[in-house]
């Protein structure tokens, strides 16, 4: 069975819709580079589309009837959107689930130090990365600093054309003989991923230093003048102190906008497409789907890249608790009804797949690999070596999915994540499958997955949105 290139099937109307979708997508991933930013924007878009807060509905004891649209947020990092359908909730939901966290560098809690006239910030990498890919790139800092009084300070430095950027340095080639003998995993090690953030010293005369109060910046300037200067800047420009790093969440990400890629502008090059390419298309499908028969749910979750742990990860009870709240407000509550609803549901675990890269074709088995430009990708199973850790969708559900995609004129393909013994990966699919619902992995193929810049096909992004809408509108 050969792969069919989706580009060959488009008319002028398709091209116009494809271009509009991808322009909006590029804007989204250019401005939403953290899970907080993605969640905030998703809520803004949901409210514009008529969604209300579940908390608001609960406090007002507002009954939820078919057609109602509500959202719930968990600590500003995970969002669940629900569009109630015409059928009883006990008959199940159509669920799209994607993650909005991506591999990055996180600033440590006690990060700032000075060495050889430079100020640096210690980082701890988040998710699976090739550490050597993160050196000598222009980097930005996004996040929040929360003060003990509850004040939250938003930080976003490195994206505006007038902003400074940051970087992790690398050893020059002239002195790199020993470094180049190391294995890829050791060329740059985790504790070497420190962010270069300054070199200008705090300038004081000798009398100022002599008269400096104990613990003041002036006293610090005697031994760490660059660090002192930065702390002064943090206080004056942003309003926080060194101690406030203790309650900060600052993420280091590639600076700059996503861009069209290729002379023909057929692809998107951008940071965080794993998994925001699926999150964005799932979100748009949820907002645009019409004539909803079975209740439609879109999950945009945090922490997938580190095992879906924590209160904002998929292994927490937020999903089940939110379903319970909605069913109660819809007058269909009860433990047994909820269990029946979850078991009767269908889900697409919307996560990216590994696109066949001609430069590394030996890692793939070609006829079972995902090809860019050939449409939405279904991974019947993921896991590693013998399907370990996999959710393996059953044949009946795969047949149902085929019928839905064919009915929606969606270009799709099936794939595995590389050769059998090469490696593997996982998604949130197995977590939802514990309820007994049908789940299959489904997403967009990307090149350079988990690299600072990833590549996706605009055609596949367009087909993903079409496929997700067709899935949500199934009866």
Predicted pLDDT of residue 145 = 97
Q: Examine the domain organization and report whether 162 and 60 are in the same domain.
A: no
Cβ atoms of 38 and 25 within 8 Å: the answer is no
Predicted pLDDT of residue 324 = 96
In three-state secondary structure terms, 356 is coil
Task: For residue 231, give both structure tokens.
Answer: 């702390």
pLDDT in tens, 309-356: 999 999 999 999 999 999 999 999 999 999 999 999 999 999 999 999
Alpha-carbon separation of residue 449 from 121, 203, 353, 366 (angstroms): 26, 45, 8, 18
174 CB-near residues (< 8 Å, 6+ apart): none
As a whole number of angstroms, the distance between CA 427 and CA 311 comes to 17
pLDDT in tens, 263-296: 999 999 999 999 899 999 999 999 999 999 999 9
pLDDT along the chain (475 residues), means of 10: 87 97 98 98 98 93 94 97 97 97 97 96 96 97 96 96 96 94 94 96 66 65 87 92 96 98 98 96 97 96 94 95 96 95 96 94 90 94 74 90 95 87 78 94 96 98 98 91
Q: Widest CA span of the chain, in angstroms?
A: 82
Is 44 among the domain residues? yes
Q: Examine the domain organization and report whether 396 and 432 are in the same domain.
A: yes
Is 266 among the domain residues? no
Q: Examine the domain organization and report whether 354 and 428 are in the same domain.
A: yes
As a whole number of angstroms, the distance between CA 162 and CA 460 comes to 34
Q: Examine the domain organization and report whether 121 and 240 are in the same domain.
A: yes
Structural domain of residue 447, as residue ranges? 6-102+271-474
Q: Examine the domain organization and report whether 197 and 336 are in the same domain.
A: no
340 burial type by CB count under 10 A (0-12 exposed, 13-18 middle, 19+ buried):
middle
As a whole number of angstroms, the distance between CA 310 and CA 52 comes to 26
Q: Examine the domain organization and report whether 192 and 85 are in the same domain.
A: no
pTM for this predicted structure: 0.94
Q: Examine the domain organization and report whether 226 and 302 are in the same domain.
A: no
Strand partners of residue 469: none
Q: Examine the domain organization and report whether 278 and 142 are in the same domain.
A: no
């Amino acid at each position: 069975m050969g792969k069919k290139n989706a580009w060959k099937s488009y008319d002028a109307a398709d091209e116009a819709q494809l271009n509009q979708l991808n322009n909006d997508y590029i804007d989204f991933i250019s401005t939403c580079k953290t899970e907080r930013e993605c969640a905030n924007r998703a809520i803004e878009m949901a409210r514009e589309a008529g969604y209300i807060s579940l908390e608001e509905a609960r406090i007002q004891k507002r009954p939820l009837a078919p057609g109602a649209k509500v959202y719930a947020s968990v600590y500003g990092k995970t969002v669940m959107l629900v569009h109630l359908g015409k059928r009883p909730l006990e008959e199940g939901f159509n669920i799209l689930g994607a993650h909005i966290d991506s591999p990055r560098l996180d600033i440590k809690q006690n990060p700032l130090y000075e060495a050889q006239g430079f100020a640096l910030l210690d980082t701890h990498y988040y998710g699976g990365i090739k550490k050597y890919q993160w050196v000598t790139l222009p980097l930005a800092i996004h996040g929040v600093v929360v003060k003990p009084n509850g004040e939250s300070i938003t930080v976003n430095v490195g994206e505006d054309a007038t902003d400074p950027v940051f970087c992790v340095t690398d050893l020059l080639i002239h002195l790199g003989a020993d470094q180049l003998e190391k294995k890829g995993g050791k060329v740059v090690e985790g504790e070497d991923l420190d962010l270069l953030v300054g070199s200008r010293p705090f300038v004081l005369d000798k009398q100022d230093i002599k008269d400096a109060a104990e613990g003041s910046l002036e006293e610090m300037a005697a031994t760490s003048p660059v660090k002192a200067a930065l702390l002064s800047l943090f206080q004056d420009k942003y309003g926080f102190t060194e101690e406030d790093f203790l309650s900060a969440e600052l993420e280091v990400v590639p600076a700059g906008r996503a861009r069209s890629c290729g002379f023909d502008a057929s692809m998107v090059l951008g940071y965080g497409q794993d998994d925001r390419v699926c999150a964005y298309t799932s979100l748009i499908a949820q907002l645009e789907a019409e004539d909803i028969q079975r209740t439609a749910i879109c999950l945009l979750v945090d922490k997938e890249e580190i095992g879906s742990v924590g209160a904002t990860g998929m292994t927490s009870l937020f999903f089940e608790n939110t379903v319970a709240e909605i069913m109660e407000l819809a007058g269909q509550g009860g433990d047994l009804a909820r269990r029946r609803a979850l078991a009767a549901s269908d889900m697409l675990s919307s996560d990216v797949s590994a696109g066949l890269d001609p430069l590394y074709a030996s890692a793939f088995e070609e006829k079972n690999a995902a090809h860019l430009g050939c449409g939405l990708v279904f991974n019947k199973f993921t896991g590693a070596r013998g399907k370990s850790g996999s959710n393996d969708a059953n044949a009946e559900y795969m047949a149902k999915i085929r019928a839905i995609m064919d009915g929606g004129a969606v270009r799709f393909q099936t794939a595995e994540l590389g050769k059998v013994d090469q490696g593997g990966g996982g998604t949130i699919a197995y977590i939802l499958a514990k309820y007994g619902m049908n789940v299959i992995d489904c997403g967009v193929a990307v090149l350079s997955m988990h690299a600072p810049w990833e590549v996706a096909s605009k055609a596949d992004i367009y087909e993903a949105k079409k496929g997700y809408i067709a899935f949500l509108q199934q009866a």
